[in-house]
Every structure is written in C-alpha cells, then in structure tokens.
C-alpha cells in the first residue's frame, strides 16, 4: 500500500491525502477503526465456557469470510513486521478490542471453575486464534464452525481443572 495508490483509487492528488493523514500509519489505523465490526456475541449466563467460546469463534468466522478482508489482513501482518509503529497501532486498536472479549470469556470460565486458575489468559487466546490465522493466511484449509469446535475442544481440554 502506498499513499500514491490510495490517492489514485480515491481520485484525488497525493497532497489531498497527506492533508488528512501525515503518513501511511495514521491512514491505515483510521481505515482499520472504520472497518465494520461484527455485533458483540450474546452469551447466555447458563452457557458453558466451551459453548460460549465456540459461539464467539464461529460468529467471528462467519463475519469475516471474504477474500478482500483476508488480503487486507495478510498485507497488514506483513507490514507489521516491517513497521513497529504500525504494529503498535494495530495491536492497540483493532486487535485489543477483539482480544478483550475473548479474555472476558476465559476469565468467566475461570470464575466458573471450567478453566484452571493458573492458566494464562493470553496464551489461551493465542491458542484459540492462532489456528484460524494459520489456515486463512498460510494453509488455505477450511475455516468454519467445525474448526471452531475442534480448536475450543483441544484448548479447553488442555486447561481444564483436574477431575476428582
């Protein structure tokens, strides 16, 4: 992505783009904050943590199953490795909101005794999201509700409290 390409696509001059965004980073951050986010997933109080996480992952997958979003995300991921300022902006903006909702479900599971107290919330969230990113960006394998159920089962079995 370049300022020149943005200006060309918008049908304006580069100076018009620079007047609003002094560099590529603020432009990308602004664009990311205006992406249509899926509505928060409603989780019933009596729903198990396992079911709640499957629902959250499935809804997230359903909301973002289109090729343009995948291409954008792939470009952002690549650019983040080259631009620390962009990486911070993406992590603190787009990703933090999504991760907070997963953290809340994991904390809820701990409070209900469905997840060990010593289990690291961030590691669990990474384990839930990592396979989805791997499939969407690298292997191209199916990303669907079945995958969401498999991921949640494997992760939660690993962080379940000891039985008995």
Q: Look up the CATH number of the domain holding residue 73.
A: 1.10.357.10
Got the DSSP string for 122-150? HHHHHHHHHHHHHIIIII----SHHHHHH
Q: Could you tell me if residue 11 is left (phi over 0), alpha (psi between -120 and 50 degrees) or otherwise beta?
A: left
Considering the domain architecture, whether residues 8 and 53 belong to the same structural domain is answered as no
Considering the domain architecture, whether residues 74 and 147 belong to the same structural domain is answered as yes
User: How many domains, in total, are found in the chain?
Assistant: 2
- Using alpha carbons, select from 18, 135, 123 the residue that is nearest to residue 73: 135
Percentage above 90 pLDDT, the chain: 40
Q: Is residue 164 part of a domain?
A: no
Residue 117: the pLDDT is 95
Q: What is the number of residues in the chain? A: 164
Considering the domain architecture, whether residues 119 and 103 belong to the same structural domain is answered as yes
Considering the domain architecture, whether residues 108 and 149 belong to the same structural domain is answered as yes
Q: Could you tell me if residue 140 is left (phi over 0), alpha (psi between -120 and 50 degrees) or otherwise beta?
A: left
Q: Nearest 5°: CA angle at 89, between 101 and 79?
A: 110
Q: What's the chain's average pLDDT? A: 85
Considering the domain architecture, whether residues 46 and 125 belong to the same structural domain is answered as yes
Q: Is residue 8 part of a domain?
A: yes
Considering the domain architecture, whether residues 23 and 102 belong to the same structural domain is answered as no
The boundaries of the domain holding residue 151 are 37-159
In this predicted model, what pLDDT tens digit does every residue of 48-100 receive, in sequence order? 999 999 999 888 777 666 666 677 777 788 888 888 888 887 888 777 777 88
Question: What does the block give as tokens for 122?
Answer: 């961030």
* Least confident residue range of 6-20, 99-113, 129-143: 129-143
* 140-152 mean pLDDT: 90
Question: What does the block give as tokens for 37?
Answer: 């986010």
Considering the domain architecture, whether residues 17 and 89 belong to the same structural domain is answered as no
Considering the domain architecture, whether residues 59 and 73 belong to the same structural domain is answered as yes
Considering the domain architecture, whether residues 48 and 120 belong to the same structural domain is answered as yes
Considering the domain architecture, whether residues 30 and 8 belong to the same structural domain is answered as yes
């Amino acid at each position: 992505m370049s300022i020149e390409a943005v200006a060309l696509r918008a049908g304006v001059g580069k100076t018009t783009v620079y007047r609003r965004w002094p560099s590529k980073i603020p432009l990308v951050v602004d664009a990311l904050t205006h992406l249509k986010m899926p509505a928060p997933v409603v989780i019933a109080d009596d729903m198990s943590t396992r079911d709640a996480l499957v629902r959250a992952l499935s809804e997230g997958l359903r909301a973002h199953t289109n090729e343009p979003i995948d291409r954008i995300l792939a470009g952002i991921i690549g650019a983040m490795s080259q631009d620390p300022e962009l990486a911070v902006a993406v992590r603190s903006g787009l990703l933090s909101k999504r991760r907070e909702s997963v953290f809340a479900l994991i904390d809820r599971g701990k409070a209900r005794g469905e997840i060990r107290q010593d289990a690291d919330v961030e590691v669990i969230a990474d384990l839930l999201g990592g396979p989805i990113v791997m499939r969407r960006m690298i292997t191209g394998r199916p990303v669907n509700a079945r995958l969401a159920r498999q991921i949640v089962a494997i992760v939660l079995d690993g962080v379940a409290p000891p039985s008995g």
